[in-house]
Amino acid sequence: MHGRVKLKPVADINILGIETSCDETAASVVRSGEEIVSNVVFSQIAMHQPYGGVVPELASREHLRAIVPVVRKALWDAGHTYQSVDALAVTQGPGLAGALMVGISYAKALAFALEKPLISVNHIEGHIHAVLLEERRKGNHELNFPILALVVSGGHTHLYLAEQRDGRWSYENIGHTRDDAAGEAFDKVAKLLALGYPGGPIIDRLSKHGDSTAVKFALPHLKNRDRKDTSPVSSTGRPRFDFSYSGIKTAVLRYVETHNMQGTIQERREALGKIQKPSLEDYLSLCDQPVLDLVASFQRTMVEDLITKTLAAAREYNVKTLFVSGGVAANSELRQEFEQEAAKEGLPAYFPSRPLSTDNAAMIAVAAYPKFCSKDFAEAGFSAEAGLVLR
């Protein structure tokens, strides 16, 4: 459907959302797809930090530990009981299979015991609906379609055309990363430079202190067919807009080696290892100007590439609205530049608030709301799908 569409809630429905796809155990109650009644996120970041990334087995174990108290707190904060919510929603995928299984098993058992409907949600659809939630909270109930959504996180860098017809949403992927996700590149570069995990937030903060023109990185223009894909074009026969971020990580590594930065990196690793919760000042005192310039240049390159490709896709597909969501959408330079560059083309660019950009369960409850309205409930036998595709 093209044109302006009203997104008014149809009833007073409270959905309990549950999200366990990666390293956050989250539960939230959202009313009628527009009001967050409670939103609890238990982050495992501290536990995975020493490993410089998420360890799947540890993630599943922590979800098992956290799921019951997190759901209880979400209900308590909302002033709800297990019985008083109208439906349950849970992330089916994509994500870590073992981690997803914890949320799914718990949600299935709860829905069965309570005799409530259960809705399965694609995590990426959740990220897209986080933007809708934000707009509804601001009182913006009308959107111009088609929407182009950039979902950019630690696990994903995807471009989706999103449409809504008779309350049902459908999606068409017109671009994805061929190797690393953008957030993964932030995390790997931070690990390489001994800046801790996750890398995005600290690179974001440090970049403000560096010269983003100091180091020139070139990202590939992907004109050729992706060998993993069966088609070089989308199902509409028009071009794809793919990303690739494994090269820039190697380029940063090469820069570190050719500029003899290993010594200062090792010193920083040791010094940060002794500080329990390093502050920005701690980081700044342990980062010399060359490393600040390097992170600022890296971030600038990432931001420019994400914006250039998204806007090229927006022109090609003649979209009316841009959504940017996922953990990397919390990046301050990305948000600022996106809004500016999209405005030059007359395109509104919408982001979720920072807490709704990263993984949370409110976005799952919101994405479940139109499914609830159209009685699109989960099959009894549904299970975790680590590589679940969004359509």
Tokens 């490393």, residue? 291
How many residues sit in the footprint of ligand KG4 (CB under 6 A)? 19
Residue 46, both tokens: 């501290």
- 135 contacts which partner out of Zn ion, ligand KG4, none, CB within 5 to 8 A by kind? none
367-to-11, 87, 285 alpha-carbon distances in Å: 15, 13, 43
Asked if 204 is part of the footprint of ligand KG4 (rule: CB under 6 A), the reply reads yes
On whether the CB atoms of residues 44 and 23 are closer than 8 A, the answer is yes
Asked if 93 is part of the footprint of ligand KG4 (rule: CB under 6 A), the reply reads no
Asked if 23 is part of the footprint of Zn ion (rule: CB under 5 A), the reply reads no
Query: DSSP characters for 106-127?
Result: HHHHHHHHHT--EEEEEHHHHH
- Which amino acid type is present at position 344? K
Find, among 102, 137, 177, the residue nearest to 362 by Cα: 137
Strand order in the sheet with 168-176: 168-176, 157-165, 147-152, 321-325, 349-350
On whether the CB atoms of residues 281 and 315 are closer than 8 A, the answer is no
How many residues sit in the footprint of Zn ion (CB under 5 A)? 2
On whether the CB atoms of residues 23 and 49 are closer than 8 A, the answer is no
Instruction: Name the minimum Å distance from CB 54 to ligand KG4.
Output: 9
> Maximum Cα–Cα distance for the chain, whole Å?
63
Instruction: Please identify which residue in 34, 134, 187, 242 interacts with ligand KG4, judged by CB under 6 A.
Output: 187
363 HSE (CA, 13 A, CB side) = 31
The secondary structure of residue 44, as a DSSP letter, is -
Instruction: Name the minimum Å distance from CB 153 to Zn ion.
Output: 4
Nearer to ligand KG4, 66 or 87 (CB): 66
Instruction: Please identify which residue in 16, 22, 121, 149 interacts with ligand KG4, judged by CB under 6 A.
Output: 22
On whether the CB atoms of residues 37 and 361 are closer than 8 A, the answer is no
38-to-21, 74, 200, 233, 237 alpha-carbon distances in Å: 19, 6, 26, 42, 43
Instruction: Name the minimum Å distance from CB 63 to ligand KG4.
Output: 14
Selected range binding Zn ion among 233-241, 268-276, 357-365, 367-375, rule: CB under 5 A: 357-365
Nearer to ligand KG4, 183 or 278 (CB): 183
Residue 359, both tokens: 């993984």
Instruction: Please identify which residue in 199, 210, 278, 352 interacts with ligand KG4, judged by CB under 6 A.
Output: 199
Selected range binding ligand KG4 among 37-45, 193-201, 266-274, 365-373, rule: CB under 6 A: 193-201
- 198 contacts which partner out of ligand KG4, Zn ion, none, CB within 5 to 8 A by kind? ligand KG4
Handedness of CA 268, 271, 275, 276 (dihedral sign): positive
Contacts (CB under 5 A) with Zn ion, residues 128-187: 153
Contacts (CB under 6 A) with ligand KG4, residues 115-174: 153-155
Instruction: Name the minimum Å distance from CB 150 to ligand KG4.
Output: 12
Selected range binding ligand KG4 among 35-43, 200-208, 282-290, 377-385, rule: CB under 6 A: 200-208
Selected range binding ligand KG4 among 31-39, 43-51, 305-313, 327-335, rule: CB under 6 A: 327-335
- 358 contacts which partner out of Zn ion, ligand KG4, none, CB within 5 to 8 A by kind? ligand KG4
Selected range binding ligand KG4 among 3-11, 197-205, 221-229, 343-351, rule: CB under 6 A: 197-205
Instruction: Please identify which residue in 78, 359, 364, 378 interacts with Zn ion, judged by CB under 5 A.
Output: 359
**CA-only gyration radius of the chain, Å:** 21
Interacting residues toward Zn ion by CB under 5 A: 153, 359
Interacting residues toward ligand KG4 by CB under 6 A: 22, 153-155, 183, 186-187, 198-201, 204, 326-328, 330-331, 358-359
